[in-house]
Every structure is written in C-alpha cells, then in structure tokens.
Amino acid sequence: MSHDNRKTLTRRRFLGRGAMAAGAGALPWYVPASARGRGGAVAPSERIVMGGIGLGGRGFYDLGYMLTQPDVQWVAVCDVLKGRRNAAKKLVDDKYGNEDCATYGDMRELLAERTDVDAVLIATGDRWHALTSILALRAGKDVYCEKPACLTMAQGRAVAETARRYGRVYQTGAQRLSEPHHVFGIEMARAGRLGEIHTVYADCRWRDGLRHDWLPAEPEPPKDELDWDLWLGPSPWRPYNAGYVNGGGWYHFYDLATDVAMWGAHTVAQALAGLDMTDVSFLEFEYAGPDKTMVTRLSNGVKLVLFRVAGSVWEPCEYWHGACGERFDGPEGWAAAADGYARPDVSSPTLLREYQTVLADYTSRTQRPLDHVRDFFDCVRSRRDPVASPDVMVRSMNICLAADICEQLRRNLKFDLNKAQFIDDGEANRLRCRAMRPPYTI
C-alpha cells in the first residue's frame, strides 16, 4: 500500500471505525469469568478452534466427545447431507447456547473460508479420508481422521508426505492405541514381560466380502439435500441409489471401501505397537482361501495372524471375545484385549497384578494420556507426533492393503515393508493405487 493510500479514509474504513466505536460503547462493564479464563475455563485466545467434516454416525459420536474438551471451540461443521450437517450444528449450538456454528455442504469451502480453524475432524466415508486429509493439511489445519485412513498405499503415502511438508499434526482414529486394556497388552509385549513374542493375532473379521456390482439407478434427491457427485468424490461414478447412503451401505462395495483394513486399521496397528519393528524389512503373506484367516510372517521370525471368520464381530473366538481384538503370545505367557472387556485376558492371573504398574509406566514414559482424542489435542499444542502418527498409519494400512491384494490375486505374496512394494510381482504392485475420478484427485 502506498503512503498516500495509508492516509486516505475510505468509506469502508469510515464505516469500520464507526462500527468499532459503536461496539465499544455497547460493551457491558461486566465480562464473564469464563471469557477471561477464570474458574477453570480456558480463555478464548487459548482454545483450539475446530471444524468437522463428515458428521454422520461415527463423526457425530466423535463430535459429541470432542465437545467435552474444555480447551476446544467448535465453529463450523460440514457434511454433504443436509440433515447431518444440521444435526451437527444443533449439537454444537446447544453446547454453547447460541446459533453461531456455521454449516457447509462442501469441505473445500470450509477449508478456504475458515482461516480461524486450527484443526479438523474428518469422518467422511472411507473414499474421502485421504483426499480430505490432504486438502486440510495443505490449508494449514491439523487433522484427526477416522480410519481406515486411505483406500490405497499411494494415498496413505501422500497423506504422510503432506503432513511432513506442511508441518501439521495428524492423528488417525485408531483409538484403541490409547485405551487402557489394549495399552496393557501392547506394553506387556513391548517391554518383554511375556518373553520374546513369537505370534501376534489381529482381528480382521470377514465383512461378507466386497461387491463389484452397481445398485439400480434411483432419482437423485435435490442437490441441496445431497450433492451426489460430491458424495462419490474420487470414486468411480455410478448412479444414485439410497442403498449406498443409508445405513453405511457403501462399505460393502470395492469402489468405496477396503476389506481387511475395515477392522485391521485398528488391530494391525495395535499388533505392531507391541512388536519391535525396527529390523522388519519384509513380510510374507500366505493365501489361505477367500475370507479365511491369513498368516503373515515377518522377516524377524514373528508370525502375524490376520484372524478372519464369518459372522458377527461379537461372536467369541479362541483368542478373544468381542470386537477389534489383538493377542500377543510369548514363552512367558500371553495377553489379549478386545472391546467390552472388564479386564484384559491373560494366560495367568498373576500377570494382571502388574496392570496399574504397566499403565503408570506407559503414561510416565510416553507422557501420553489414556485418551486418544486428548492425545491429539495435546499434540496440537506441543507439535509432537500423536500416538497414531502418519508413520503408524502408513505402516499398518500398508499391511492391511497388502492382505487385500493377496486376497484379490489369490496367491502368496512377499512385501517389502520399507519400500512399500511387492517383491518380484508387477501385477500386485499395480494394485497399490487406484484411479481417482477428476476433479477429486490428489
């Protein structure tokens, strides 16, 4: 701006000064203690300003939990479905007792317009996870993204590279890495309390397979209610059918979802957390038939069993009862955990005597809370990597996606974990990425 322009009082500046003067005259003498950070409240200037993208189902649950955090302020929500974004807005407005939460139908508008937003929750359908994360990271936002974080190895690598390039905090929603029972089992393995681990089991339950057909075309709803093209995003185009949208029907279709990673995005990360992966250079995948338990052998001699059986995830099995379980076996015993446990399962009750000690050692050593969302917000402040960092996400997702490719090709495969490529198998390597439909590309 030139010297002359700096001295010019334009109409816009005049009106702006008038508005500020009027506002100053209207300010009350009393300022609430919460606005000043008194009484245990966090001052507005110290709060993490949040936006949410994809807020149906899991996203709505995450939003509700994140609203309980005292140092977080929600200002904007986005969902391609009008009903969901309105429900999310109501939840936020009811929390704060106002109507200030902004709504968006297109995430790109939220990311472009809301320069005040520090971080975003991403809980879209799986097809959008990687691309939304990349767009948010490029926009300077820290990201908490639900799992599975990507549909392909190429997408996962792009997310991790973008987080590093832009210096942003990224946490994937593998929340059991922060839950006490799972942390106990992981730490029992990691610290050698079970001896040298020889076998690890990860719950990768069968989901009735993935479909490659299309549902019959139905009339599209009004664009304001649902923008179908935007809902599909980077996935191949197909005609609208309410069966994709309602009740999470999309996750049965290959173009819109993953198979092993649906559960393995949690459990493989949990399994790897208890192992020393520093000397693991490759894995061998043994194909056992469609939707059967798959054995993978790590180059350090550990056997990683991707446990797969048909039926409800809550049906008991020989390794755990409940969903999203993992188990570590060593010469000194075994430890397992899954959802719904009152205490972890162990080979001997004496191992549970160390329960509180193990958890206390973990929190002291890592300086992390036993709360996945809280770990994310703490890292937003400290700028260190969360427990489910981009590197954790990429490594666990690559193993899950390699298992998917093994099932597609129906043969044994050998996978270089460091290079993220199959060894001497060009056909398998071509499946590490999928075409993304323009303009929804990385």
Kindly state whether residues 197 and 331 are assigned to the same domain.
yes
Kind and range of the H or E run holding 144: strand 142-145
Domain boundary residue, one of 175, 191, 219: 175
Asked whether the predicted pLDDT for residue 412 surpasses 90, the reply is yes
- Kindly state the DSSP code that residue 353 receives in the 8-state scheme: G
Q: Tell me how many domains the chain contains.
A: 2
Q: Using CA atoms, how far apart are residues 409 and 287, in angstroms rounded to an integer?
A: 9
Sign for the pseudo-dihedral over CA of 177, 178, 181, 184: positive
Q: So what's the pLDDT on residue 28?
A: 44
Residue 52 inside a domain? The answer is yes
Q: What is the rounded radius of gyration, in angstroms, for the C-alpha atoms of the chain?
A: 24
Which of 347, 340, 304 has its CA nearest to residue 325? 340
Between 275 and 29, residue with greater pLDDT? 275
Kindly state whether residues 55 and 195 are assigned to the same domain.
no
Q: Using CA atoms, how far apart are residues 255 and 435, in angstroms rounded to an integer?
A: 10
Q: So what's the pLDDT on residue 31?
A: 43
Asked whether the predicted pLDDT for residue 425 surpasses 70, the reply is yes
Q: How far is CA 407 from the centre of its chain?
A: 24
Kindly state whether residues 149 and 283 are assigned to the same domain.
no
- Other residues' Cβ atoms within 10 Å of the Cβ of residue 296: 22
Which of 272, 251, 247, 244 has its CA nearest to residue 393? 272
Confidence bin at 208 (pLDDT 50/70/90): low
- Kindly state the DSSP code that residue 425 receives in the 8-state scheme: -
Lowest mean pLDDT among 126-135, 180-189, 315-324, 418-427: 315-324
Kindly state whether residues 203 and 168 are assigned to the same domain.
no
Residue 387 inside a domain? The answer is yes
Helices (H), 11-125: 11-26, 58-66, 82-96, 107-113
Structure tokens at 154: 């190429």
**How far is CA 293 from each of CA 198, 257, 262, 327, rounded to the nearest angstrom?**
17, 20, 15, 15
The CATH number of residue 110's host domain is 3.40.50.720
pLDDT in tens, 82-116: 999 999 999 999 999 999 999 999 999 999 999 99
Kindly state whether residues 275 and 288 are assigned to the same domain.
yes
Residue 125 in contact with residue 250, Cβ under 8 Å? yes
What is the DSSP pairing of strand 142-145 with strand 326-330? Answer: unpaired
Residue range(s) defining the domain that contains residue 120: 34-175
Kindly state whether residues 131 and 268 are assigned to the same domain.
no
Give every CB contact of residue 436 below 8 A, 6+ residues apart in sequence. Answer: 131, 234, 442
Q: Using CA atoms, how far apart are residues 287 and 406, in angstroms rounded to an integer?
A: 7
Kindly state whether residues 287 and 346 are assigned to the same domain.
yes
**How far is CA 256 from each of CA 231, 394, 436, rounded to the nearest angstrom?**
11, 19, 11
Confidence bin at 370 (pLDDT 50/70/90): very high
Asked whether the predicted pLDDT for residue 391 surpasses 80, the reply is yes
Token pair 């942003």 is at which residue?
168
pLDDT in tens, 127-160: 999 999 999 999 999 999 999 999 999 999 999 9
Kindly state whether residues 351 and 365 are assigned to the same domain.
yes
Q: So what's the pLDDT on residue 207?
A: 61
Residue 252 inside a domain? The answer is no
Lowest mean pLDDT among 36-45, 241-250, 285-294: 36-45
Residue 20 inside a domain? The answer is no
Q: Average the pLDDT over 345-350 and give the result.
A: 95
Residue 93 inside a domain? The answer is yes
Q: Using CA atoms, how far apart are residues 88 and 107, in angstroms rounded to an integer?
A: 15
Domain boundary residue, one of 154, 175, 196: 175
Domain boundary residue, one of 175, 195, 225: 175
Kindly state whether residues 301 and 340 are assigned to the same domain.
yes
Q: So what's the pLDDT on residue 204?
A: 87
Residue 442 inside a domain? The answer is no
**How far is CA 82 from each of CA 19, 56, 77, 79, rounded to the nearest angstrom?**
34, 11, 11, 7
The CATH number of residue 190's host domain is 3.30.360.10
Helices (H), 139-203: 153-166, 180-190
Name the average pLDDT for the chain: 89
Give every CB contact of residue 188 below 8 A, 6+ residues apart in sequence. Answer: 194, 274, 328, 335, 351, 354, 358
Residue 188 in contact with residue 275, Cβ under 8 Å? no
Token pair 């993935």 is at which residue?
210
Helix (H, G, I), strand (E, B) or coil at 360: helix
Kindly state whether residues 181 and 129 are assigned to the same domain.
no
Residue 250 inside a domain? The answer is no
Q: Using CA atoms, how far apart are residues 297 and 279, in angstroms rounded to an integer?
A: 13
Residue 437 inside a domain? The answer is no
Kindly state whether residues 422 and 286 are assigned to the same domain.
yes
Kindly state whether residues 192 and 128 are assigned to the same domain.
no
Q: So what's the pLDDT on residue 291?
A: 67
Q: Average the pLDDT over 231-253 and give the result.
A: 95
Q: Using CA atoms, how far apart are residues 427 and 405, in angstroms rounded to an integer?
A: 10
